[in-house]
Structure 1
Amino acid sequence: MNMKWNELAKSLMKDQGVNQEKLAEHLGLTKGAVSHWLNARREPAIEDIAKILRYLGMREFTVNSDGTIGSPGNVANVTNYETYIPSNKYPVLSKVQAGAWCEACEPYALKDIDLWLETDSHIQGEAFWLEVDGDSMTAPMGLSIPEGTYVLFDTGREPVNGSLVVAKLTDSNEATFKKLIIDGGQKYLKGLNPQWPMIPINGNCRIIGVAIETKMRLV
């Protein structure tokens, strides 16, 4: 008989010393939301179940439609997992702090950062999170990144046409989050919201980082 995913998850968490708060932080959710999932009061999407089990070290498993877990060749015995390794944490900066990136030897003071979020993403340079403010990246269809979303930026990645980037205009102290458009040698910043016009940026803008991950916290 297959094991329910939440019972397996709680067993792995106990073995590895991972509490609900740690798991909630990794998922970008509240502890209460994770508690509802683990105690079967609400059922998460299959993709969320897989993300939780991968975070807890599971590498070979299948998630069935009824929320039970199976593994290739032996669906009744799922005991193969790797030791839990904490993910890297990066600071959540304000738009002003992000805008000041690289303008000083110490772009931000660690003691002033209240919120750090985890990620499993491969970082090529330095990284930080930025909370989306406003509706310029909210689209009526397709990719949409609404206000309140946390976006992870990698300063070591090369921005290309179509990259979502955080940039600082020379006439502003704050960073702005937009899509980079390169057309015939001219560069623009464009919101995903079609009501926002493209801003030409040749010579008056510095690209700080490229967006590689988003995270939404409900509370």
Structure 2
Amino acid sequence: MDIGQSIRKARKAKGWTLEELSHRVETDTGNLSRLERGKQFASKELLSRIMVVLGIELSQIQDAGMSNVQMALQPSRAPKEYPLISWVIAGGWAESSDNFHPGDAEEWLPSTENAGDHGFWLDVRGDSMTCNGNPSFPEGSRILVQPEADVISGKYYVVKLLDSGESTFKQYIEDAGLKYLRPLNPNYRTIQINGNCQFIGRVIDTKMTGL
């Protein structure tokens, strides 16, 4: 049994769909499907998250003839630096990113996540994405945004509201054919959307500040 089959067996044992597991380990269903079919290797970080969520022990994989699993993993990506920009700039990023120059940002922050050529960091404003659970994005924490990312229900996005011109950070939810931008803080209202917004990018990494 290879690693993909081991993951699929453990997922099925919990009664989870690919979508449920992808949400729990913060990847997309396509990645997991290819991994389970042996068409794609997992990074060390992703494999570790999958094993924790599914309750798979490394010894179980080794007992299944997978003692060389670490050798099959892709090497960890070297950190790449992305600019920390303002929300004003972020609001027009889709139109202006090609005109962005290194001197336009005072600070560049590293990440091992691949946010593409036009990735950028933002400081979280307010407490609408703060909660008692995980993840939580308190005010002042930083989020890495990947522009031109696929829009997937349950993931987190920076979105420009076309009616007001305001940019906001929320969780995107599809439910019963309707689409919403949901804050994690229950004291804020969920926003129903119907094409009156522009997805600037998906949040793929975060950093805490002031620790």
- SS of the aligned residue for 1:103 comes to helix
Query: Normalized per residue, which structure has more helix?
Result: 2
Deviation at 1:107, TM superposition (A): 5.3
Q: 1:145 aligns to what?
A: 137
- SS of the aligned residue for 2:89 comes to helix
Counterparts of 1:1-219 in structure 2 under 5 Å?
A: 87-104=79-96, 106=98, 108-124=100-116, 126-218=118-210
Q: Distance in 2 between matches of 1:205 and 1:119?
A: 28
- SS of the aligned residue for 2:94 comes to coil
Paired positions, count: 137
Q: Distance in 2 between matches of 1:163 and 1:92?
A: 21
Deviation at 1:218, TM superposition (A): 1.2
Identity of aligned residues (%): 41
Q: Distance in 2 between matches of 1:107 and 1:205?
A: 23
Q: 1:102 to 1:142 in 2, by over 3 A?
A: closer
Q: Distance in 2 between matches of 1:115 and 1:136?
A: 25
Q: What is the RMSD of the two structures over their aligned residues, measured on CA atoms?
A: 2.4
Q: 1:123 to 1:103 in 2, by over 3 A?
A: closer
Deviation at 1:216, TM superposition (A): 1.5
Q: Distance in 2 between matches of 1:126 and 1:156?
A: 9
Q: Distance in 2 between matches of 1:107 and 1:191?
A: 31
Q: Distance in 1 between matches of 2:201 and 2:125?
A: 17
Question: 2:180 is aligned with what amino acid?
Answer: Y
Q: Unaligned 5+ residue runs, structure 1?
A: 1-50, 52-84
Is the Cα contact below 8 Å between 1:96 and 1:173 reproduced in 2? no
Q: Distance in 2 between matches of 1:144 and 1:86?
A: 26
Q: Distance in 1 between matches of 2:99 and 2:171?
A: 24
Instruction: Using the TM superposition, name which of 116-125 and 188-197 deviates more.
Output: 116-125
Is the Cα contact below 8 Å between 1:87 and 1:119 reproduced in 2? yes
Q: 1:107 to 1:192 in 2, by over 3 A?
A: farther
What's the TM-score once normalised by structure 1's chain length? 0.57
Q: Distance in 2 between matches of 1:124 and 1:114?
A: 20
Is the Cα contact below 8 Å between 1:92 and 1:116 reproduced in 2? yes
Deviation at 1:144, TM superposition (A): 1.1
Is the Cα contact below 8 Å between 1:124 and 1:157 reproduced in 2? no
Q: Which has the higher Rg, Structure 1 or Structure 2?
A: 1
Q: Unaligned 5+ residue runs, structure 2?
A: 1-44, 46-76
Deviation at 1:217, TM superposition (A): 2.2
Q: Distance in 2 between matches of 1:105 and 1:112?
A: 11
